[in-house]
Amino acid sequence: MKISANHPLAIGCIIIFFIALFVIFGPLFTSYSQHSQNLAISLSSPSIQHPLGTDYYGRDVLTRLIYGGRISLGIAVFSAIIAVLIGTVLGLFTGYYGGFPDLIIMRFVDVMLAFPRLFIVLLIIGLGGSSIPALIWVIALFSWMEIARIVRSEVMSLKNRTYVKSARAQGFSVNRILFRHILPNTINPVIVATVLSISTIILVESGLSFLGLGVQPPNASWGSILNDAKIDPLGTWWLSVPAGFLILFSVIGFNLIADGITEELDPRKN
Amino acid sequence: MEQKDKNRPILSVSNLTIDYAFYRVGPFSAQHHAAVENVSFKVYPGDCFAIVGESGCGKTSILNAILGFVRPKNGAIFYNEQNLLTMARREFRLYRPEIQPVFQDFHNALNPRFRIIEILKESLRICSRKDISIEELIAVVGLGTDILNYFPHQLSGGQKQRIVIARALIPKPQLLLLDEPVSSLDITVAVQIIKLLKNLRKKENLTFLLVSHNLPIIRLLANRIAIMKNGHIFEEKPTEDLFETPEHPYTRALVNQALISCQSYQ
Amino acid sequence: MPILSIENLSVRTRKFKPASLLEDISFVLNPGETLAVIGESGAGKSTICRAILGILPKSLEIRGCMNYNHSEIEISIGNWDDDRQFTPLRGSEIALIFQDAAGSMNPLRKCGNQIRDIMKTADNHTSITKQSILDFLSQTGFREPDTIYRSYPHQLSGGMAQHVALALALAGQPKILIADEPTSSLDAISKQKYLDRLAIMKKKYDLSLIFITHNLNDALSLSDSILVLYRGRAVEFRKTADLKTSPKHPYTGDLLNLLRSVNQSRMPDEMAENFPVGGNHDSGCPYCQKCSRATALCGKTFPPKTIIEQPYYFCCNYPLEKK
Ligand SMILES: Nc1ncnc2c1ncn2[C@@H]1O[C@H](COP(=O)(O)OP(=O)(O)OP(=O)(O)O)[C@@H](O)[C@H]1O
Ligand code: SF4
Ligand SMILES: [Mg+2]
């Protein structure tokens, strides 16, 4: 494997690496707290003290972008992990057993996919309130379907492989066959799907927060900082542009990584 | 369970019909296609019984039915006079170790992510065999210990097929189902595998049910041959009789063809 | 004047620890003749075909030279990385058929359309009528060209798919046809049908044929000359008639002995295995650990090429004598 020749993967990793640095080590370089208000300097444009200006309450935008990034990315990663777990387990069992349960679950998946995800999530959050754990769960519960489908189709082809048949003929238990002999061989597409779903979830969360239904004040996320700018996006460009770019770049970064991994795992390459 | 009685078939298949359904539009307009129709035969202990026919004629379906991978539409499969098709799942599991398959497709027969040693250990553990070490096991199939740390893709075809055979021996089977065991191998390797199988049959008291399309090679191993086409068995005879007095036209064509191609080098 | 000649072809991986897939292979193909390439699985048979068409992955390093020479067209290739050199060869001069015929076709296009695609490329994009495709199909031996025209690859049986793959290859009007194990998944009867048609097509279109197989019977009965590969080395290249009567290389000798006993339905005698010669098959003769004639010399260096009569040769220190 020559990673150096794989430009998408390299570029994606560099982008995500810098965003991660920014989010993790950012607090070391700002002296402000994300919540400390100073109404006297409300909505001041960028200056030496506040490199990215301040918001309505006079809070430092740079600091809020750092902490907001932790929340945005954290929600995305945790939701994606939960979604992958649900999707993988359901995909494994439906793919292996087939039959009636498979039919039911897959039609359920179709129904879930048929709903516009953002609106359903909006509805639930709107009715039930939005704490961060609630956001994670609700987004995860509406993101596992693609993964279930991918895993299921992989399993359907793997279960007819000769080595699985031999294992059955020797009396291996179903769990052993599934988790030790089939699951590891489905892992490649699952990794790609996970990375891709992280980037879609970043968008979903930003969308929710932009509409005011995601992360609630005083906490920030990139989407909610965008939301702060919506009265005058051009006039208060230091609120909208940096947050927008962070969202854009992390989505691009994760997409590039997914592309790169797909290429790296392409059997023709080895 | 050992049945030494030579006159009692170890495996008896009667009126087996296997049917695959194709769904055109929905579950309500299934079209049926019979892969195997009304097939009967008996395999006696110590036999090497071969089913010969072109690819797609239903040979593998019969093996899959015996292994419980497909459910036949009709008929019965008796193993030591127990009907495998009507017995409960739990009871069937008891018979699993006694019937072991060796498939044609050895490239896919070993889990690509495991080393050879892990593959064999896994089976030893599941079959709880403590009386044999891995080294002894691979010596039985004529391999050295140097390949134990390899991954399957690093082995040659012949080595893979030997590992598959070694693994099939782990549950101490009575009956081996061999699906085209040598047809993807070249002649030097094929002959070695045939020899190995022949020796194993004697040493381990095995019975073989063999499926193939390569008559000349089958001739070296089998003592009874059944000719199959389009889901039917046309003719069943001891090997030498079949070569001397083929009756059915298809058998005759097949035997002739095999003999002609053998004349290229005598 | 041979239509194709390959000199000192070597294919290696460009890894940190280079492995050799093919080493120093030379052979010639005379116009109108059939060359059979035999060898065990992994010996490098398919690698040769891919090298000839320049479709090996770029991760491999290829050395050697190849000359193609047919009436006006003369192409000689020394730099194998240059894709443009191969473009005039592919399809219209040299065509390739794979073992997995149905898998090598586009599953989403009807056979007729796939043939049209190839004919268009061969005829420089003139429009091809349906009738001309049907004519072509019946010329290549199909009794129901219309059915073939309309079917998708997955609707064909294994034998039929091979016949269609042959027609597809012929549609480009090649001069050389390379068939990579076309019959190894067919039973005796469909195989014979296929080989018969191949022979007819070869005559009709004046083809030269490279036939790759691990079935020795087919190789012996079809070919004019034979290249024997063992572990990526060419151990013997001979006229078929000579090879049959007096094989020189011990590997060829062992192959023929085994074949004879299988053909006579005798169980072959014990073949001795693993002669310790103090050397290994990577640096020395590839067959040294299985060869009954091996000595310490064989384990050290690859035996030199002994030329019997240009271009035929074998590589062995202690060749078999004529019986
Ligand atoms: N792209 C590659 N990179 C590295 N090794 C390769 C590559 N392609 C093939 N090989 C190796 O080269 C060797 C020769 O392979 P090849 O496919 O030419 O054999 P073959 O004679 O056609 O065998 P078969 O009878 O199985 O078709 C094998 O050991 C194979 O693993
Ligand atoms: S060179 Fe030596 S080892 Fe190789 S084939 Fe000849 S005698 Fe045998
Ligand atoms: Mg090949």
Check pLDDT > 80 for residue C66.
yes
Contacts of C158 (CB under 8 A, 6+ apart): B55, B56, C101, C102, C185, C186, C190
C252 Cβ contact list (under 8 Å, min separation 6):
C228, C235, C236, C243, C314
Contact B22, B30 (CB under 8 A): yes
Q: Residue A57 is part of a domain; what is its CATH number?
A: 1.10.3720.10
A233 found inside a domain: yes
Residue B232 φ/ψ region, left for φ over 0, alpha for ψ in the -120 to 50 degree band, beta for the rest: beta
Residue A1 pLDDT > 50, yes or no? Answer: no
User: Which chains reach chain B with 3 or more Cβ–Cβ distances below 8 angstroms?
Assistant: A, C
Instruction: With CA atoms as reference, report the closest residue to B260 among B229, B215, B212.
Output: B215
pLDDT of residue C42: 75
Q: Establish if A11 belongs to a structural domain.
A: no
User: Which tens digit of pLDDT belongs to each residue from A156-208?
Assistant: 888 888 889 888 888 888 888 998 889 888 888 888 888 888 888 888 888 88
Q: In chain B, what residues touch C216 (CB-CB under 8 Å)?
A: 187, 265
Round to whole Å and give the CA distance between C268 and A183: 44
Residue whose CA lies nearest to ligand 2 atom number 3: C288
Best of C275, C283, C285, C305 to mutate for ligand 2, by most ligand atoms within 8 A of CB? Answer: C285
- Measured CA to CA, the distance from residue A156 to residue B69 in angstroms comes to 14
- Residue whose tokens read 């279930």: A148
Measured CA to CA, the distance from residue C167 to residue C92 in angstroms comes to: 13
Cross-chain residue pair B123–A170, CB shorter than 8 Å: yes
**Integer Cα distance of C82 and B45 in angstroms:** 62
* Ligand 2 atom with the shortest distance to the CA of C298: 2
Position B5 in a domain: no
Tens digit of pLDDT for each residue in C154-196?
777 777 888 899 999 998 889 999 999 888 777 778 888 899 9
Average pLDDT on C55-80 reads 85
The closest CB to that of A162, out of B97, B108, B123, belongs to: B108
Which residues lie below 8 Å from residue A173, measured CB to CB, with a gap of 6+?
none
> Is there an atom of ligand 2 within 6 Å of C212 CB?
no
Contacting residues of A for B109, CB less than 8 Å apart? 162-163, 166
What is the chain B residue with the closest CA to A181? B111
In chain A, how many domains are there? 1
Using CB atoms, which chains have 3+ pairs under 8 A with A?
Answer: B
Q: Is A87 within 8 Å of A144 (Cβ atoms)?
A: yes
B21 touches chain A (CB under 8 A): no
Site to substitute for ligand 1 among C11, C17, C47, C216, most atoms within 8 A of C-beta: C47
pLDDT surpassing 60 at residue C277: no
Using one digit for the tens of pLDDT, what is the confidence trace for B69-95?
888 888 999 998 888 888 888 888 888
How close, in Å, is residue A185 to chain B by CA atoms? Answer: 7
| Rounded-to-integer distance, Cα A26 and Cα C12, Å | 49
Q: So what's the pLDDT on residue B42?
A: 92
Cβ–Cβ contact B23 with A under 8 A: no
DSSP string computed for B82-127: EETTTS-HHHHHHHGGGEEEE-S-GGGSS-TTS-HHHHHHHHHHHT
Whether residue B4 is contained in a domain is answered as no
Q: Which string of DSSP letters, residue by residue, matches B6-21? A: TTS-SEEEEEEEEEEE
Burial-class residue C219 by CB neighbours within 10 Å (0-12, 13-18, 19+).
buried
**Backbone conformation region of residue C219, classed left if phi is above 0, alpha if psi is from -120 to 50, else beta:** alpha
Q: Which residues are CB-contacts of B179 (< 8 A; sequence separation ≥ 6)?
A: B59, B60, B63, B101, B102, B103, B104, B211
As a three-state string, the secondary structure of chain A is CCHHHCHHHHHHHHHHHHHHHHHHHHHHHCCCCCCCCCHHHCCCCCCCCCCCCECCCCCEHHHHHHHHHHHHHHHHHHHHHHHHHHHHHHHHHHHHHCHHHHHHHHHHHHHHHHCCHHHHHHHHHHHHCCCHHHHHHHHHHCCCHHHHHHHHHHHHHHCCCHHHHHHHHCCCCHHHHHHHHHHHHHHHHHHHHHHHHHHHHHHHHHHHHHCCCCCCCCCCCHHHHHHHCCCCCCCCHHHHHHHHHHHHHHHHHHHHHHHHHHHHHCHHHC
Instruction: Show which subunits contact C, needing at least 3 CB pairs below 8 angstroms.
Output: B
Peptide bond into C88 cis (omega under 30): no
Whether residues C188 and B213 touch (CB distance < 8 A) is answered with yes
| Residue B62 counted as domain residue | yes
Chain B positions in Cβ-Cβ contact with residue A180 (cut-off 8 Å): 122
Q: Which residues line ligand 1 (CB under 6 A)?
A: C 13, 21, 39, 41-47, 57, 60, 214
Please give the span between the terminal C-alpha atoms of chain A, in angstroms, as a whole number.
7
Query: Do residues C210 and C30 touch, judged by C-beta distance below 8 A?
Result: no
- Distance between CA atoms of residues B37 and B78, nearest Å: 17
Nearest residue to C36 (alpha-carbon basis) of C218, C305, C255, C232 = C218
Exposure of A65 by Cβ count < 10 A (0-12 exposed, 13-18 middle, 19+ buried)?
buried
Sort strands C73-77 and C60-70 into parallel, antiparallel or unpaired.
antiparallel
Measured in Å, residue C289 CA sits from the centre of ligand 2 at: 9
Chain B residue with the nearest C-alpha to that of A186: B113
Q: Which residue of B has its CA nearest to A158?
A: B108
Residue bearing the bigger pLDDT, C247 or A120: C247
**Does residue C285 have its Cβ closer than 6 Å to ligand 2?**
yes
- The pLDDT value given to residue B1: 42
Structural domain for A217, as ranges: 52-265
**Residues facing B102 on adjacent strands:** B178
- Residue C272: pLDDT band with limits 50, 70, 90: low
Q: Residue B118, exposed/middle/buried by CB under 10 A (0-12, 13-18, 19+)?
A: middle
pTM for this entry: 0.74
For chain B, 266 residues long, give each residue's pLDDT as a single digit of tens.
444 567 788 999 999 998 876 554 445 556 677 788 889 999 999 889 999 887 667 888 899 899 988 888 889 999 988 888 888 888 888 888 899 999 877 878 898 888 899 999 999 988 888 888 888 888 888 888 888 888 888 787 788 888 999 999 998 899 999 988 887 777 777 888 888 888 888 888 899 999 988 888 888 889 999 998 888 888 999 998 988 898 998 888 888 888 887 777 77
Domain-embedded: residue A32 = no
Indicate whether B201 belongs to any domain.
yes
Residue B163 inside a domain? The answer is: yes
Rg from Cα positions in chain B: 19
Say whether residue B61 is in contact with chain A using an 8 A CB cutoff. no
The answer to whether residue B178 is domain-embedded is yes
Q: Coil, strand or helix: which one is B256?
A: helix
- The answer to whether the CB of C125 falls within 8 A of the CB of C185 is no
Q: Is C181 on the interface with B (CB under 8 A)?
A: no
CA distance A105 to A86: 12
Amino acid (one-letter) located at C156: L
Q: Which residue of A has its CA nearest to B152?
A: A163
- Could you give the number of structural domains in chain B? 1
pLDDT band of residue C203 (cuts 50, 70, 90) is very high
Token pair in block for residue C108? 């989403």
What's the C318 CA to ligand 2 centre distance in angstroms? 6
pLDDT on residue B152 = 85
Q: What is the predicted pLDDT for the residue at B5? A: 63
Q: How far, in Å, is the centroid of ligand 1 from the Cα of C12?
A: 11
Condensed to tens digits (0 to 9), the pLDDT of residues C282-318 reads 778 888 878 888 888 888 888 999 998 888 999 999 9
What pLDDT score does A82 carry?
94
Tell me the residues surrounding ligand 3 (ion) with CB < 5 Å.
C 46
Query: How many helices (DSSP H) and strands (DSSP E) are in chain C?
Result: 11, 12
Among all ligands shown, which has an atom nearest to the Cα of C60?
A: 1
Ligand 2 contact, C291 CB (< 6 A): yes
Note whether residue A1 is domain-resident: no
What per-residue confidence (pLDDT) applies to A269?
A: 43
What's the distance, Cα to Cα, between the start and end of chain C in Å? 33
Of A180, A188, A182, A176, which is closest to residue A160 (Cα–Cα)? A182
Q: Which residues of B touch C190 (CB under 8 A)?
A: 54
Residue A141 lies in a domain: yes
Q: What angle do CA B134, B139, B142 make, to 5 degrees?
A: 135
pLDDT at C276: 54
pLDDT of residue C237: 95
Residue B182 lies in a domain: yes
Give pLDDT, residue B2: 46
Residue C35's pLDDT is what? Answer: 96
Q: How many CB atoms lie within 10 A of CB B263?
A: 10
Token look-up 């420089």 returns C124
The alpha-carbon gap from A163 to the nearest alpha carbon of chain B, in Å, equals 4
H or E stretch covering C9: strand C4-13
Q: What pLDDT is attached to residue C79?
A: 83
Closest C-alpha among C120, C143, C221, C207 to residue C170: C207
- The Cα–Cα gap between C53 and C62 comes to 12
- For A108, A118, A119, A150, the CA distances from A114, given in Å and listed in that order, are 10, 12, 12, 17
Best mutation site among B102, B108, B113 for testing chain A: the one with the most A CBs within 10 Å? B108
Q: Chain B residues with CB inside 8 Å of A165's CB?
A: 67, 69, 101, 103
Q: Which residues of chain C have a CB within 8 Å of the CB of B220?
A: 262, 265, 267
Domain harbouring B100, CATH code: 3.40.50.300
Cα(C182)–Cα(A108) distance, integer angstroms: 46
Distance of CA A97 to the CA centre of its chain: 30
Q: Does residue C175 contact residue C70 with C-beta atoms inside 8 Å? A: yes
| Mean pLDDT across chain A | 84
**What domain range is B73 assigned to?**
11-264
Burial A90-103 (b: 16+ CB within 10 A, else e): bbbbbbbeeeeebe
The fraction of chain B above a pLDDT of 90, given in percent, is 22
Cα(C114)–Cα(C106) distance, integer angstroms? 8
d(Cα C175, Cα C195) in Å, to the nearest integer? 18
Contact C221 B213 (CB under 8 A): no
Could you give the CA distance from residue C25 to residue C3 in angstroms, rounded to a whole number? 17
